[in-house]
Every structure is written in structure tokens, then in C-alpha cells.
Amino acid sequence: MDEIAKVIVDVSSSQTDQAYDYLIPDNLKNQLSIGYRVKVPFGTRFVQGFVVDITYTTGVDYELKYISDILDAEPVLTPELVALGDYLSQTVFSFKMSCYKTMLPNFLKANYHKEVEWIDNTCCPPLFEKQKRISWKMIESLGMTHAVLKWKKEEKVIVHYLVEDKITHKTQRFVSLVKPIESIPIRANAHQQKALLDYLSQSSKVSTKTLAEANISLKTLQSAKQKGWIEITEEVIERNPYEHITFEKTMPLTLNEEQKTVYTQVKESILKREPKTFLLEGVTGSGKTEVYLQLISDVIQNGRTALLLVPEIALTPQMVKHFKGRFGQRVAVLHSGLSEGERYDEWLKAKEKKADIVVGARSSIFAPLDNIGLIIIDEEHETTYKQMDTVKYHARDVAIWRGQYHQCPVVLGSATPSLESRARAQKGNYTFLTLTKRANDKPLPHVQIVDMTTEKKVGNFDLFSDILKLAIEDRLQKKEQVALLLNRRGYASFLMCRDCGHVMQCPNCDISLTLHKDTHKMKCHYCGFDTSIPTECPNCFSDKVRSYGVGTQRVEEALYQLFPQAKVVRMDVDTTSKKGQHERLLNIFGSGEADILLGTQMIAKGLDFPNITLVGVINADTSLYLSDFRASEKTYQLLTQVAGRAGRGTLSGEVIIQTYNPEHYVLQLAQTQQYEEFYKREMYSRYMGHYPPYVYTTTITITHHFESTALKSAYQIKQILEQSLGKDVVLLGPSAKSIARINNKFYFQILLKYKNIKAVEKVLYQITNDSQELAKEKIYVSIDVNPVNFI
């Protein structure tokens, strides 16, 4: 009987969710299964595809073609992930192919080179007699890939994926003898040669690094090689980014009463295999991490696996230390600080069951773990859990889907849950758990609000109020540490001419350029455009150009003027864009070398430095009046998070928030740190404004180089929507996005509000399908279900 594979093919211009039938060639019969990547003929060319099913019948009446080859020696997707791709494509309105690609590590998408290594010592087929490693291409050209698949199943080969990228391809050089040591003549005064032979008499192979450390020069090695005594080989060593760090073993702490209650409830669900979702609302420093660690420990003791998601930026060395310290090598850590190759290694550890815990950022939600017993999303309110481009999924939804699949609970943790999650807990869709006290038994830090308008009235035009200045001075004297938040990078927000009012704008975007003093540039934060800082107005040539709006660089400068003896670490996108810099800056601060940590929101999350006793917010208003209905929620979350950095150790903490809007309810409620009060107040304004969580929203964004073309398509799409949507759906727009032009493209947006996704599903599928035709004219339509950003 013919074996038939159903394959989703990768044809970018005309994607479809329909699987095509292909015959499985004889040499792959009974070998292929769901999740394999294959090469198949499509039209006049060959494309990649994913096997989503294997059957014996076909519904088509034309002659089927054969699968031409396999792309890997084993499936890259598990049956679970194939099913998940199905679910995703239906809920985020992306094609299945895009979903599968999203679930795989970048590594498998990049240009890579594969090598097959024979590892069985008991036998060896002729192919591997001369060399143990052969390139996949060579095997493919010999038509032998099916044999590799068989050998792989018998564990006789390993397939190595190599990226042509030096960072990921860590190699080490080794020296070994090629002649019996007795036959080598050595002059008595040739000390280096003697030392070299000493090393080689003790072990068959020594790394050049070791020899260099023993002061044996490269010259010595070269001459030994010329004389035919030794050979120098290069080998790929296993990449392990955490190899150089030894993690101190940590022991479980005795949980306090509140922690115990939380722990017991979740544990019960784990044991009963209940796919429940818990919302854990715990104040900052309440010991959520310790509860996570102990729950995970139970899960793996029972032979199951666990997944913990943290926001990218919170994946600090501190977090890694917690997990590596408790669980050692059984943890795979995935984050963007790793090179592609390193990330692939960690992914593979999970896939090959060498790790049973995965800790990572958003995309780790697709980690190929089997038999999951618990999924945790820490800081669940973070918008980074939503992927903003291509497949616009939310990790929270994926977690809940996987929880159902594995019959295990999902824990969403936060000090300031998203309103959506908190409302679900209210309705009983999620089980609500709370931690109301700090684990160190200290009260939450005292928060003081400083009205900057009165500071101005008494003649203080500085960036710092007197209160904040004195408090910083006090901490510097006591050798305690300070964290300062200003959620705006650069030196000044814009340059304006005092004579004609001209503001320097980005030529590609509808936004002003930001002044960067360190690089002496005017920069666009949206498209990356930069130009030199003008000394005169480009419009009227007046020399009265002034900068307005304060950024982190400006605050740094002011700090050095006020406190010349202090050492400041500035952390923002500009100082942390290179690999390892984020970690390095945190280490400098953590070791006590610096006194003040100044930064954007990236300093608000996950840091646990016991010596921080003062947190200052330079300007709490930066995010308060954004044209987004979530502006209040985001500001409240940011203020609570950053305040939570103070007083985490044995010393008490103090927080000073500067604002021009001291009466605003967000600031009032952030001061008392009562999330529950904030939740009630904010729910009321969402109710009045018909915003989530009272309704669901979807945006459709239409983009083109010409404003008129974009707008015309937007109206055409609106018409399609109007024809098929009922009265229960509110349709707004099209309107220009708040930054109407970015990188010379115009953005128009249509907003849908509805109570039930069923009311919009059908027409959104239609728009998704139609969008491919429009894309040929470079009109891009993108659908975002439950967007987290409206600007």
C-alpha cells in the first residue's frame, strides 16, 4: 500500500493552510512521521515542507508526486507542536507555515551546514571508513539520507548543525604526538620542547591554550610540527555559555505561611493533573521565585518537566543563578543574549531530554519539552509576551493551550497583573492566589510624591527636587545604593529653534529626532536615521536652537555635576545593545563598584540588589498621557516595579517619585501600592470607555509607501468588514496611527471591538487570504488580535 504524507509547503507568495499529499518513497517507508521537514517538488521547483500527517488514502484525483528528500534526520516538531501550529494559525490569523517557522529556533531557519558523524565503535559502513564526519550535502548527493535517518534511530550517528558564523562555531586547537616519544631527540637546553613532550607523555592530546599558559610558544609548536613530531588539529567544542560560571548550590528556604498556601494549592493541581490557570498576585519581594523553585523541584522529582517564562530583560544573571544553583545542568536557558548556536544547543538539550527545565523569554513557550507538569509565566503583565510582528501570538495563550494538552496547571505571576488576567480571576476563569507581604518581613518601601510644579515656583529648575537631592546625598554618604528611573533615552527629546519654532524631524518618519550627546548625533528612534547636531536652525539659520525634554544622558551629566564623587552606571538601549553589556553593567553595580544605577524601564524589572535603599523616579509623567487606553496601567506597573527594587535586603527602602501631576489617580494609588484599588478604579474607566477587558479588540493595519494608496485600501477593507459584520461589532477608523509615517511608509488602522471572536473570525480569515494579493502590490495588511500596543 502507498504511504502518503500530508505536507504544509513553504511557498511565501501564495501561502495556504491546505496540506498537499505526497507519496513517500520506498526507502523512507515506515520511517517518516509527523513533524519531519522534507523537500518536495512544487510547481517547477523544490520547496521545504512539514509533514503534518501520514495516511494511506488521498482525496485528490491527479497523480501524486514523491517527497524528494528529508531535511533532518529526525522530526523538528513534535506532534504536540504540529497541533499547536494548527491552533495558532486559527487564532492569530497567520498561515500554518509561518506558525511552524515561529516555533522553531532561528537556527533551523538560517543558512546552516550539516555534518553527520558516525559514533558507533562496533561497526562502520564504507561511507565512514575514511572519515568519521561527512557533510549532509555529500550524503544527499549520494542519495543516502534515508540511511542516515535509520542510523539516527539506531543511535549510530549524530547530526551536527553548524552556522557559518564564528561566534557560534567555537573551536579549540589541540596538539597530539604522531611519533613514539622515545624516537624524538631533544637537546638538553631546549626547555620548551622538553616541556611540550612532558605534557604529551601524560595525555594523548593537549589544547594549545593549556600550552600557551605553560609558556610554550607557538614557534616551538610550529617547529615540532615541521619536524613531524606532532600534529595540530582544530575541533568544535561544545558551546556552553554557562560553562565558565560555577553556580553555588542553593537550598530550598522554609516557606512562610502565605507561600505555603500558594504552594499547596498549585501542587494539588499538579498531582491531580488539572489544567487550571492560577493568577498569583504577589507584592514585589514576596518570594514568588522561591515558590516557583519548589514547585518545579517537585515536578521534576515526579519525572515530569517544567517551563518558566520571564521577560527578556529580567533574564538577568541573577535569575539564571537561582535556577542553575538549584537544579544544575538540568536547566536549559534560552534568551537573546546567546548566539544562535548557543541557543540551538540549549533547545536541543530540552528536545533530547538532557534538560527537564526550560527557563527563557517569550519564544521559549515553544520549547520541545515532553510530559510537562507545570508552566509558569512570571511578570505576566509584561507586553513582551506578545510577539508584535509576523505571527502575533501571546505566550500566555500558548501556555494555557499547552497546559490543556499536558493536563497541567499554568501559573501567571505578577505584583501588578494585567487587567485582563485580574478580571479573569474575578470571574473565576483563573484561580486567584495572593502573597501580600514581603518575604523578608520588612514593610513595602515608603513612597513619597514630589510635586515638581511647586519646586519650580520656589525657583528650583533642576532635574532633581531638593528632597531627592538630599536623599541621594544621604545614601552616598552611607555607602548604600540608588536606582533612578527615567523612561526616556538620549540626551534631549527634541531640538527647537527659539526664533521660528522649527523642530528637527526625521526625514523618513513623522517624529522628532532625539539628541544624543555621547555620539554627537540627532537620532530617530524609529528608523535609525541619524545626522549631526546642528548649530543653527536649518529653517531660519538662527543660532538660538535649544534642546527640550530630558533623557537619561542628560540626567547622567547632571548627576556628575551634583555628585562628582559618585559613580553612575547608565543602562538604556544605547548602553546595552552589544552582547554581554547588560550583564557587565549589572555586575559592576552588583559588586558595589557603582553607587547609582540610572536607566529606562529596563532597570525596573527583576533586579534583586539588597543594597538599594533609595529609588528615584525623575519624571513619572513620561508614559501617563500616551494615546493608548493602557497608559495608566503601564505607568502604574512601571512605578510599582521600580519601587519594588528598594529595600529588598535587611535595610529598609524609600521611594521618591517626581511628577507634574501629583493628583493623578495613578500616582496616588502607586504611592499607597494597593494594586487592588488601582484595579477597581481602572476597571471603571475601561467600562466607561468600552475598552478591554470589557470587550475584545483587533486592529487591522494597512501600510504603503503612498499615503493615498494605503488609505484607499484601508477603505476597501472597511467596506468588506461592513458587509459582513453584524451590529454587535464596533468598527472604528480607518485612522492614521499616532505616528502616521515610519521609515517612509504610511500606517492606517482599523479597530474592531466585540464580545465574541466568532463574530469577526470569518471575515478576518477572508482578509488574511486576500492580503496575499495586496502584498504583490506592496500593500501590507496585518491583523493583530488583542493588541498590547495602540501607538
* Residue whose CB is less far from ligand ADP, 67 or 444: 444
Residue located via cell numbers 528608523: 527
The window from 24-32, 281-289, 444-452, 777-785 that contacts ligand ADP (CB under 6 A) reads 281-289
**Cis peptide leading into residue 734 (ω within 30°):** yes
DSSP states of 555-612 as a string? HHHHHHHH-TT--EEEESHHHH-STTHHHHHHHHHHTTS-SEEEESGGGTSS---TTE
Residue 281 interacting with ligand ADP (CB under 6 A)? no
CB of 682 to ligand ADP, least distance (A): 22
Footprint (CB under 5 A) of Zn ion, residues 24-53: none
Which residues between 627 and 666 bind ligand ADP (CB under 6 A)? 648
**439 is a site residue for ligand ADP (CB under 6 A):** yes
The residue within the footprint of Zn ion, chosen from 527, 558, 731, 774 (CB under 5 A), is 527
DSSP letter, residue 505? B
Q: How many residues touch ligand ADP (CB under 6 A)? A: 17
Rg (CA), the chain: 30
Beta bridge partners of 646: none
Interface with ligand ADP, residue 698, by CB under 6 A: no
Q: Binds 709, which of Zn ion, ligand ADP, none (CB < 5 to 8 A, cut-off by type)?
A: none
Of 290 and 342, CB closest to ligand ADP: 290
The distance of closest approach from Cβ of residue 244 to ligand ADP in the complex, given in angstroms and rounded to an integer, is: 25
User: Of residues 439-498, which lie at the interface with Zn ion (CB under 5 A)?
Assistant: 497
User: Can you read off the three cell numbers belonging to residue 277?
Assistant: 490557570
Helix, strand, coil shares, percent, the chain, to 5: 35, 25, 40
Handedness of CA 227, 228, 234, 238 (dihedral sign): negative
Give the C-alpha separation, 42 to 20, whole Å. 10
Contact 695, 754 (CB under 8 A): yes
Which one of 131-139, 157-165, 249-257, 594-602 is the stretch in contact with ligand ADP (CB under 6 A)?
A: 249-257
Q: Which does 201 bind (CB under 5 to 8 A by kind): ligand ADP, Zn ion, none?
A: none
Which residue intervals of 187-334 are DSSP H helices?
Answer: 191-202, 208-213, 218-226, 257-272, 288-301, 317-327
Is residue 540 involved in binding Zn ion (CB under 5 A)?
A: yes
Residue in 297, 431, 434, 508 binding Zn ion, rule: CB under 5 A:
508
Smaller CB separation from Zn ion, 537 or 670? 537
| Nearest residue (CB) to Zn ion, 424 versus 525 | 525
Q: Which does 290 bind (CB under 5 to 8 A by kind): Zn ion, ligand ADP, none?
A: ligand ADP
Binds ligand ADP by CB under 6 A, chosen from 608, 621, 761, 770 = 608
Q: Residue 289 interacts with ligand ADP (CB under 6 A)? A: yes
Applying CB under 6 A, among 19, 108, 184, 255 the residue interacting with ligand ADP is 255
For ligand ADP, the closer of residues 673 and 782 by Cβ is: 673
583 binds, among ligand ADP, Zn ion, none (CB under 5 to 8 A by kind): none
Q: Comparing C-alpha atoms, which of 500, 503, 519 is closest to residue 511?
A: 503
Containing H/E element for 449?
strand 446-451
In the chain, the N- to C-terminal Cα span, in Å, equals 57
The least distance separating Zn ion from the CB of residue 384, rounded to whole angstroms, comes to 23
User: Where in 477-496 is the site for ligand ADP (CB under 6 A)?
Assistant: none
Nearer to ligand ADP, 9 or 670 (CB): 670
Q: What is d(CA 652, CA 649) in angstroms, rounded to the nearest whole number?
A: 8
Q: Which is nearer to Zn ion, 502 or 681 (CB)?
A: 502
Single out the residue of 15, 284, 493, 613 in contact with ligand ADP (rule: CB under 6 A): 284
All 3 cell numbers of residue 340?
Answer: 544562535
Residue 634 or 737: which CB sits closer to Zn ion?
737
Residue 253 within binding range of ligand ADP, rule CB under 6 A = yes
User: Which residue in 375, 369, 396 sits closest to 270, CA to CA?
Assistant: 375
User: Could you tell me the smallest distance in angstroms from the CB atom of residue 283 to ligand ADP?
Assistant: 7
User: Which residues, 273 to 292, sit near Zn ion by CB under 5 A?
Assistant: none
The grid cell for 572 is: 538604556
> CB of residue 335 vs ligand ADP: minimum separation in angstroms?
18
- Cβ pair 410, 403 in contact under 8 A: yes
Q: Sort 435 into a burial class: Cβ within 10 Å, 0-12 / 13-18 / 19+.
A: buried
User: Which of Zn ion, ligand ADP, none does residue 255 bind to, with CB < 5 to 8 Å depending on kind?
Assistant: ligand ADP
Binding flag, residue 530, Zn ion (CB under 5 A): no
Q: Which stretch binds Zn ion (CB under 5 A): 84-92, 167-175, 191-199, 524-532?
A: 524-532
Answer whether 207's CB lies under 8 Å from 148's CB. Answer: no
* Residue 328 zone, left/alpha/beta (φ > 0; ψ -120 to 50; rest): left
Q: 330: which strand partners?
A: none
Report, in Å, the least distance between residue 439 CB and ligand ADP: 3
CB atoms under 10 Å from CB of 682, counted, come to 22
C-alpha closest to that of 275 among 403, 428, 427: 403
User: What's the CA gap between 29 and 470, in Å, rounded?
Assistant: 77
Q: Which stretch binds ligand ADP (CB under 6 A): 18-26, 285-293, 416-424, 660-668?
A: 285-293
Contact with ligand ADP (CB under 6 A) among 285, 409, 549, 599 = 285
Of 10, 258, 290, 340, the residue at the interface with ligand ADP (CB under 6 A) is 290
Q: Which does 284 bind (CB under 5 to 8 A by kind): Zn ion, ligand ADP, none?
A: ligand ADP
Total residue count of the chain as it appears in this document = 791
Sheet of strand 133-135: strand arrangement: 133-135, 112-118, 157-163
What distance lies between CA 521 and its chain's CA centroid? Answer: 29
Residue 726: burial class (beta carbons within 10 Å; 0-12, 13-18, 19+):
exposed
With CB under 6 A as the contact rule, the residue among 240, 440, 505, 587 that binds ligand ADP is 440
CB of 259 to ligand ADP, least distance (A): 6
Closest CA to 755 of 701, 690, 661: 690
**Which does residue 621 bind out of Zn ion, ligand ADP, none, counting CB within 5 to 8 angstroms by kind?**
none
The label of the residue with cell 547530526 reads 159
User: Cα-flanking dihedrals φ and ψ of residue 97, to 5°?
Assistant: -60, -45
CB of 738 to Zn ion, least distance (A): 15
Tell me which of Zn ion, ligand ADP, none is bound by residue 524, counting a contact when its beta carbon lies within the kind-specific cut-off of 5 to 8 angstroms. Answer: Zn ion
Q: Which stretch binds ligand ADP (CB under 6 A): 73-81, 255-263, 418-426, 723-731?
A: 255-263
Binding range to ligand ADP, per CB under 6 A, among 282-290, 328-336, 652-660, 722-730: 282-290
Per rule CB under 5 A, count of chain residues that contact Zn ion: 15
* Non-local CB neighbours of 180 within 8 Å, separated by 6+ positions: none
Closer Cβ to Zn ion, 207 or 508, answer by number:
508
542 binds, among ligand ADP, Zn ion, none (CB under 5 to 8 A by kind): Zn ion
Residue 523 identity = K
Do residues 753 and 694 lie in contact, with contact meaning Cβ atoms separated by under 8 Å? no
Minimum CB distance to Zn ion smaller for 499 or for 574: 499
Q: For ligand ADP, which is the closer residue by CB, 11 or 255?
A: 255
382 binds ligand ADP (CB under 6 A): no
- Residues 791 and 783: their CA atoms lie apart, in Å, by 15
The x, y and z cell numbers of residue 520, run together, are 554627537
- CA–CA distance, 498 with 144 (Å, rounded to integer): 74
707: contact with ligand ADP by CB under 6 A: no
Binding site for Zn ion (CB under 5 A): 497, 499-500, 502, 506, 508-509, 524, 526-527, 529, 537, 539-540, 542
Binding site for ligand ADP (CB under 6 A): 253-256, 259, 282, 284-290, 439-440, 608, 648
